[in-house]
């Protein structure tokens, strides 16, 4: 992310409103590209289905198939995501770029194998035809590669190329969907094929960008697994955040709002569509984190830690710490205020705007939309503070906070099913509130004793962890004996 920060700083030096829009637009697409694409595609599918009078059953099945692939791929990749990002950062810092492409294919290969088996078994008994099974399986695989590619694309400065891949994917999907429906293709197969080819364009474009910027090599593709053992709390943090963020959707599919679409595909359209729209209200915080925190906070952060490495004086260290924490406090405050404003606007006029879209919004859905906007807003600010904790390498604190988020969000949502339907969504709010409090308290404690955590909590002797993932990496790379960490990646 630091690489993005440096480049955005150059963009923001350019004067004019269009230059600012360009910088914010690049940041938005880079950080939210695949997810934003998923939202746009779901909206496009609804629009085209209404335009061509596709049956309600077919429309709901299409939406379910896309949603299941999105959530399934997110869950599968969430365990590796943060640990792989740490591996990527270390390799870039050590100027060992030859390790990057092999690790991309190694991590993606493991996820495709493990996730593909599980999702493939689900599709075999899902109750859909073989063509739809193949399209759903292919879409799942594409999404896994796209999610992992975005972790690596943070190191690329070709914003124009990334933006073009995003736009091309949207255009290809909409044009093919329109064409297939015009030609009389079955709606379910036609729309799924359009979505498949749209993501295919983005996948190929992103992989080409990776090959353009990182050298090909014959380094060990599974060496990154040692980082999963080394930073196991990071891996579980990514998984727990994903579970806390999306578990309430799956739980609702089993509740009173449940709609049995076909086979193993269930949904809760009233809640799902509201959540989809409410999720858009947090994009401003995601983008603001990259623009503000990375551009303004990172230089202060880097200066502070460099003083430890360069034997800075105590006076310089205290001054640098004061400046860094002051910037951090200001940026977090501004981020929270922007999210509050975005949530207030969404609650105030969102229902009016959404009533004009072909989403079938009613009073109950509008209530869910407002409730979930509050929940996602709290989550967005809490997640920003979580990322700051991870910046300070407080992995244990991040793990505890994310575990609480997943546990409370899931449990409270289950409990809410026993109350009136108007209270659905409050379980997610409670989970987000606990997440916010846990991260806020931990960040306050950590920054108050920052020198202690940096100096006194470090291990006295370097540890070479040899866990299950490291052993798996040795096996997959064909190694027969244990080597030291720096030796096995050379």
Per-residue pLDDT tens over the stretch 386-431: 988 988 889 999 999 999 999 999 999 999 999 988 889 999 999 9
**Average pLDDT over every residue of 462-472:** 75
Residue 486 has pLDDT above 50, yes or no: no
Q: Which of 437, 425, 363, 365 is nearest to 400 (CA)?
A: 437
**Which pLDDT score, from 0 to 100, does residue 489 have?**
47
Q: Where are the domains of the chain?
A: 1-230, 243-458
Mean pLDDT of the region 215-237: 89
Element (H, E) at 387: helix 363-391
pLDDT digits (tens, 9 = 90+) for 45-77: 888 888 888 888 898 899 899 999 989 998 999
Using DSSP, how many helices (H) and how many strands (E) does the chain show?
19, 2
User: Given pLDDT bands bounded at 50, 70 and 90, which one contains residue 294?
Assistant: low
Lowest mean pLDDT of 40-54, 227-241, 365-379, 410-424, name the range.
40-54
What is the number of residues in the chain?
490
Task: Tell me which residue has tokens 């365990």.
Answer: 79
Q: Record the tokens describing residue 129, joined without a space.
A: 């035809």
* Higher local confidence (pLDDT), 269 or 65: 65
Q: Are 394 and 458 in contact (CB under 8 A)?
A: no
> What are the percentages of helix, strand and coil residues in the chain, rounded to 5?
80, 0, 20
pLDDT of 87 > 60? The answer is yes
The DSSP symbol for 481 reads S
């Amino acid at each position: 992310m630091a690489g993005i920060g440096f480049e955005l700083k150059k963009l923001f030096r350019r004067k004019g409103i269009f230059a600012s829009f360009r910088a914010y637009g690049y940041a938005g697409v880079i950080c939210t590209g695949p997810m934003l694409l998923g939202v746009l595609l779901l909206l496009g599918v609804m629009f085209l289905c209404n335009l061509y009078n596709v049956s309600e059953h077919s429309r709901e099945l299409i939406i379910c198939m896309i949603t299941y692939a999105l959530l399934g791929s997110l869950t599968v990749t969430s365990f590796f995501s943060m640990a792989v990002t740490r591996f990527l950062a270390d390799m870039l810092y050590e100027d060992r770029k030859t390790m990057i492409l092999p690790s991309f294919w190694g991590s993606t290969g493991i996820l495709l194998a493990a996730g593909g088996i599980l999702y493939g078994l689900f599709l075999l008994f899902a109750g859909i035809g073989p063509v739809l099974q193949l399209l759903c399986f292919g879409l799942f695989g594409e999404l896994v590669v796209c999610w992992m590619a975005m972790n690596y694309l943070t190191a690329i400065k070709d914003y124009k190329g990334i933006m073009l891949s995003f736009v091309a994917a949207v255009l290809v999907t909409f044009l093919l969907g329109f064409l297939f429906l015009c030609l009389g293709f079955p709606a379910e197969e036609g729309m799924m094929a359009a979505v498949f080819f749209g993501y295919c364009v983005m996948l190929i474009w992103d992989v080409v960008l990776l090959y353009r910027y990182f050298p090909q090599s014959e380094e060990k593709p599974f060496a990154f697994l040692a980082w999963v053992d080394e930073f196991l709390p990071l891996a579980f943090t990514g998984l727990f955040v994903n579970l806390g963020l999306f578990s309430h959707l799956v739980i609702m599919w089993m509740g009173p709002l449940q709609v049995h679409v076909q086979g193993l595909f269930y949904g809760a359209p009233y809640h799902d569509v509201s959540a989809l729209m409410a999720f858009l209200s947090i994009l401003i915080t995601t983008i603001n984190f990259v623009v503000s925190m990375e551009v303004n906070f990172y230089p202060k952060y880097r200066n502070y830690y460099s003083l430890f490495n360069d034997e800075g004086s105590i006076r310089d260290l205290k001054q640098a710490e004061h400046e860094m924490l002051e910037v951090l406090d200001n940026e977090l405050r501004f981020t929270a205020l922007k999210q509050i404003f975005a949530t207030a606007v969404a609650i105030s006029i969102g229902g009016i705007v959404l009533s004009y879209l072909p989403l079938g919004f009613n009073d109950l859905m509008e209530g869910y939309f407002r409730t979930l906007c509050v929940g996602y807003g709290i989550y967005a600010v809490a997640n920003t503070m979580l990322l700051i904790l991870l910046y300070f390498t407080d992995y244990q604190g991040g793990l505890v906070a994310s575990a609480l988020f997943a546990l409370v969000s899931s449990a409270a949502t289950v409990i809410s099913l026993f109350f009136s339907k108007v209270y659905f969504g409050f379980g997610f709010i409670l989970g987000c509130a606990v997440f916010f409090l846990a991260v806020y308290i931990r960040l306050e404690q950590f920054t108050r004793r920052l020198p202690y955590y940096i100096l006194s909590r470090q291990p006295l002797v370097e540890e070479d962890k040899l866990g299950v993932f490291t052993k798996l990496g040795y096996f997959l790379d064909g190694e027969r004996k244990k080597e030291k960490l720096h030796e096995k990646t050379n």
